[in-house]
Structure formats: C-alpha cells, structure tokens
Chain A
Amino acid sequence: MSQVRRHRQKLPWQIILIASIAVAFFLSPFIGLLWRTPWSKFTDIVTRREIRDALWLSVQTSLITSIVCFVFGVPLAWLLARVDFRGRRFIRALMTLSMVLPPVIGGIALLFTFGRRGLIGQYLDSWFGIRLPFTTTAVVMAQCFVAMPFLVLTVEAALRQLDTRFEDVARTLGGSRWYVFCRVTLPSIKPSLFAGLVLAWARALGEFGATITFAGNLPGTTQTMPLATYAALDSNPESALILSLLMIAIAFSILIALRDRWLGRTEQGLPL
C-alpha cells in the first residue's frame, strides 16, 4: 500500500494533466454520441432496408478485402523482408505513401486508371466489357488500396524480427521454400499476421474517401456503412447517430474478441 502511494507521489502532475486532456479529447466524442442517440428509435432505424443493406455490404466487402490483402499482402511482405532486390525501397515507399495519402486521392487515381477511359480500364471495357467504377468490386478495390499496406508493413516487420535460421534448418531438413513458408514461417508470425489482418480489416471497414470517389454512393451496391452514415447526416441525423454507434460497436467488439483469442495480451501485435 505504502509502495503504491510513494509511487504515486513521484508521478509528475504536469504530465498527468496533459495526458488527461488527451484522454478527455478521445473520450468526449463517444460520450457526446451516446448522449444524443435516440435510443427509442434504435430498432426502427437499424431494421430499415437501406441500413441493413449498407451494414451487410460493409461486412461483406471488408471481409473480402481482408482475404485479398492476406493472399497478396503476405507474399509481398515476405519478398520485402527476405529478398534484396532492386526496387524494394521503392515498393516500401509506395506502401507507406498509400497509407499517408488522403484516401480520396487514392480514389481519384483508381478512377483514372480503372475508369472507362483509364489506363487499364479502357482495355478492360473494350476487350472484356468489364466496367469497374460504381460496382461492388470497385468498393473492394478502394478498400484494398488503403488497407493492404497495414497488413504488408505489419507482417514485414514480424518477418524481419524472425530468426532466419529457423527457415535455414527447415531447408536443410528437405523442406521446399513453399513448404517452409507455410509450415514454419507463417505459423511463427501468427500474432502479427492476425494483427495485420485486423488492422487491414478495420481500415477497410472505415474506408470512405477512396470508396465514394471510385465506387460512388449507390445504395445496395456501393453504399457502405460510412457512406450511408455520411449521407444520413444531412437528411436524417438520428440515423447517422445510430449508424455511427453501430460501427463503433462492431469495430470494438471484434477488436476485443480477436485480442483475447488470437493476440496474446502482451505479445507483439495490436496495441490493445
């Protein structure tokens, strides 16, 4: 007891005060949101068709995005961590760039590349009749564009920390590179893999700028939860409040669930 008290006395009150302001700043919007939420209309709003559509679309697209990020991002992370090739720094810079870029810029870039007159889009259209903008596929592409770097950089960092001699031993035991990658490398970085997946998924779920620019805001097709929330803010602020709350609840509960299940509390991974 006395130890605790002595410990407390040592803490500088200036730092505590400033940190408390930061905490208040993050906490108050949530309280404000809860404060204004029209609880009586909750069920009514949540069961509305356009809301259910948006919710379902968000869940669907963000999960697909997570899978795509995993399938393409993990091999890319391995290359960046293990192979010294020309252009590696460029690729890593590219990843970081799309993380810090305003997503709406990413959306514009996607539109001018995969749009009907875009660099790639014109051929997709004339050769295969594929038009990407304003489709659900475009939503997934927009989400991947902003979310994949989170997975790639998290997994790459974990691979760099992993002792390469584990892979060496496995190779001398007769494991092909692919076998070693699947059986030794990936299981060893499981916590970081899940952390990267969760980060990418959370980023995808919240994606707004790139989606609205490249995929548009079509209810049922491209209108995800963030878009529906923003659209509702003008016409029906109460819906916006409830939608916001819903997204917070989804994100929060999945983070907590995953933290307990996959990410050892003190292990590498999410700072939760």
Chain B
Amino acid sequence: MTLDTRFTLSRGTFTLDVNLSFNEGEVVAIMGPNGSGKSTFLHAIAGLLPVTSGMVVLNGETFDDATTEAFLEPTQRNVGIVFQGGLLFETMNVLENIVFGLRARKIKQSIAAAQAEPLISQFGLSGLLERQPRELSGGQAQRVAIARALITQPKVLLLDEPMSGLDTSTRQLVREDFREVLASFAGYRILVTHDVEDALAIADRIIELDHGKVVWDGSTSDYRNKPR
C-alpha cells in the first residue's frame, strides 16, 4: 500500500517537481524554506490544486492524472488536512467543528455527536465541547483540528506547519502531545514544518524541498547524522 506522488505543479513562475512514494504508517516530515513548495505539495494531495503533469495515486486509486484528466474532488479523497493554528471554524463551537465532516455527509447532529464520542474522549476534549475556538489555547485548538480531520476516518493526514505559532514554553509539551495524537492514527501521515527540532522529534522520515525540488530524502536518523 503506497501513496505515489509523481508530478509537476506550476503556479506562475514556480514549479514543484517531485517523485515521492510514501508507505502506510510512516510519519514523514517535509522541510524546506518558505516558497520551497511544501504547502503546494500538500494541496496537490488534498485535491486543492490540480497537478500540471504526472499523477497522484493512493493505494491504486487515481486522485489526479494530468494525462487522462482524471481528477477526484477534495470532497471525495478523504484526506484530512490540519493547518497552522488549527483554523477552526470560528462561527461554530468545538463539538460543531469536530462533527463538521459528518454533518457534511448529512448525518444528524445527535448521531454525529454520538459517533464522535470515542474520538472526543481519546483526545481529552470532553470538557471543551461547548467552547468557542477563540477560548481555546493553541494546543487545544490543534487537538480539535486534528480530531476534526480524523472524524471521517481519512486514509491520509496532512499537517501544514501544525506547530508554528505556538509559544516556545508550551512547544515541548505540545510536541509530546502531538506525537501521541499522531500515533493514534495508522494511515499516511505527512507534516510540513520549517522547524528541524519538530521534524526530528516526530518523523520517521524527512524530505527536504528547495525551489520545488527534492534535495534530501531519508530516515530521521540519517538526517540527524547528515553533515550540515
């Protein structure tokens, strides 16, 4: 079972050109400076941007193929995505945020809430359900965002700079917490970060992008020993 991404994606003068394969159960960190194409890569997997050439294939299912123009909408890919700061829907409380993916599938609120119960207690969010997003700490918002992404049981979980914006005092704690949360999900896990410490602490494999190209791809231990 693999997630295969072999494509180019052009936006203006920038081109992302990758040929990467991911194994189920792997936690992969994608690193690189601003504008290296990290977020664009996640967008292509989620279906928020179509590829210019090549394809994205998950477990044999074609997500996007520029040659045949096959394109699966983001609604049909079942790929969870978590952005920096969580990006919770500010007009909804915590529970409404978490069950959004179920409500979008026309599941009634009461049934959705019951379905979400195991995830809610697993993430320790039971006491926060009535809160508004602005009343949460950075770490809490992050947990809610991940719970929201996992509620639809996605095969892939994408995390775009999940830990930036958190202050350094809580960062260590959140990192631990984060590793635990990630461990509870068995699918493909790809996180984008510009922080080496985050990548080393969380990932099994590290990929480095620069100017839209892969400049490093290897295990975290190799990365640690890599001459810099």
Given the complex of chains A and B, what is the CA–CA distance between A163 and B160 in angstroms?
Answer: 15
Q: Judge if B74 is at the interface, Cβ distance under 8 Å.
A: yes
Q: Judge if B138 is at the interface, Cβ distance under 8 Å.
A: no
- Is A165 within 8 A of B90, CB to CB? no
Partner of B152, one of A165, A168, A173, A179: A173
- Is A172 within 8 A of B89, CB to CB? no
Q: A165-B83, A190-B91 are in contact. Are A172 and B100 (CB under 8 A)?
A: no
- Is A171 within 8 A of B74, CB to CB? yes
Interfacial residues of chain B within 70-122, with CB under 8 A of chain A in the complex: 73-75, 77-81, 83, 87, 89-92, 100-101, 103-105
- Is B87 within 8 A of A176, CB to CB? no
- Is B48 within 8 A of A179, CB to CB? no
- Is A172 within 8 A of B83, CB to CB? no
The proximity string for A residues 153-193 relative to B, scoring 1 for CB distances below 8 Å and 0 otherwise, is 00000000001011011111111100110011001101000
Closest partner residue, chain A, to B105 (CB atom): A174
Closest partner residue, chain A, to B145 (CB atom): A169
| A187 proximity list for chain B (CB < 8 A) | 89, 91-92
| A168 proximity list for chain B (CB < 8 A) | 43, 46, 48, 74, 81
Chain B nearest CB from A125 CB (Å) reads: 46
Given the complex of chains A and B, what is the CA–CA distance between A168 and B46 in angstroms?
Answer: 9
Given the complex of chains A and B, what is the CA–CA distance between A205 and B79 in angstroms?
Answer: 49
Tell me the count of chain B residues lying within 8 A, CB to CB, of chain A. Answer: 27
| B46 proximity list for chain A (CB < 8 A) | 168, 172
| B100 proximity list for chain A (CB < 8 A) | 170, 173, 175, 183
Closest partner residue, chain B, to A171 (CB atom): B74
| B77 proximity list for chain A (CB < 8 A) | 172
Tell me the count of chain A residues lying within 8 A, CB to CB, of chain B. Answer: 19
- Is A184 within 8 A of B81, CB to CB? no
- Is B101 within 8 A of A173, CB to CB? yes
Given the complex of chains A and B, what is the CA–CA distance between A183 and B99 in angstroms?
Answer: 13
Chain A nearest CB from B145 CB (Å) reads: 8
- Is B87 within 8 A of A173, CB to CB? no
Closest partner residue, chain A, to B81 (CB atom): A172
Interfacial residues of chain B within 4-39, with CB under 8 A of chain A in the complex: none
Given the complex of chains A and B, what is the CA–CA distance between A165 and B85 in angstroms?
Answer: 12
Given the complex of chains A and B, what is the CA–CA distance between A109 and B218 in angstroms?
Answer: 69
Closest partner residue, chain A, to B99 (CB atom): A173
- Is A172 within 8 A of B80, CB to CB? yes
Closest partner residue, chain B, to A164 (CB atom): B48
| B47 proximity list for chain A (CB < 8 A) | 171-172
- Is A173 within 8 A of B91, CB to CB? no
Chain A nearest CB from B77 CB (Å) reads: 7
| A163 proximity list for chain B (CB < 8 A) | 87
The 9 tightest CB contacts between A and B, nearest first, are: A187-B91, A173-B101, A175-B104, A171-B74, A174-B104, A172-B74, A172-B81, A168-B48, A174-B75
Can you list 12 A-B contacts (CB < 8 A)?
Answer: A168-B81, A169-B83, A169-B148, A170-B104, A172-B46, A172-B80, A173-B148, A175-B75, A183-B104, A187-B92, A188-B91, A190-B91
New A-B pairs, 14, CB < 8 Å, besides A172-B47, A184-B89: A166-B89, A169-B87, A171-B74, A172-B48, A172-B75, A172-B80, A173-B152, A174-B101, A174-B104, A174-B152, A175-B75, A175-B104, A183-B100, A188-B89
